[in-house]
Amino acid sequence: MKLSFITFVVVLAGMILLTACGSGSPEASLSDIHLARDPEGTDATSVFSATDTFYVVANIGSAPKGTTVRAVWSGINASGGAEVITEGSRTMEENNFSGPTFFELVTDDIWPLGEYQVELFLNDALVETIRFTVE
């Protein structure tokens, strides 16, 4: 009987420790999300010219292999709705990836003046929507 009680206490303590420490699996995240005129993100802006290339830059943290980051670029029409221009995605090829990533939107022509947005998704969950203008 005494041995069963000690086993119970040891198992219970182990369960409490596992709960407190989490599952041990990393939780992917996106941080420091911003728009820029360069892929490094050093020329941050939310106002672009009609000939600029648009970049959205973010830091990926603790992404397990197979994690997908997706960017959806849209133009905002006069009634406030969004019309998708294009989208792109990246799937992490290594386990527990942490580091910068960027997506770009480029044209050989000029961008119409107006409002745009980019939405960033992490494994199909919307993380952030950033609006910007072309003047």
For CA atoms 128, 124, 75, 83, give the dihedral sign: negative
Which is higher by pLDDT, 4 or 89? 89
Determine the Cα–Cα distance for residues 34 and 129; give it in Å rounded to an integer: 10
Please give the pLDDT value at position 82: 87
Residue 119: give its domain's CATH number.
2.60.40.10
Q: Determine, yes or no, domain membership for 21.
A: no
Please give the pLDDT value at position 81: 82
Q: Determine, yes or no, domain membership for 31.
A: yes
Determine the Cα–Cα distance for residues 61 and 94; give it in Å rounded to an integer: 12
pLDDT tens digit sequence for 80-135 = 788 999 999 999 998 999 999 999 999 999 999 999 999 999 999 999 999 999 99
Q: Determine, yes or no, domain membership for 70.
A: yes
Determine the Cα–Cα distance for residues 134 and 54; give it in Å rounded to an integer: 10
Q: Give the mean pLDDT of 31-51.
A: 97
Q: Please give the tally of structural domains in the chain.
A: 1
Under the banding of pLDDT at 50, 70 and 90, the label for residue 24 is: very low
Range of the domain at 115: 26-134
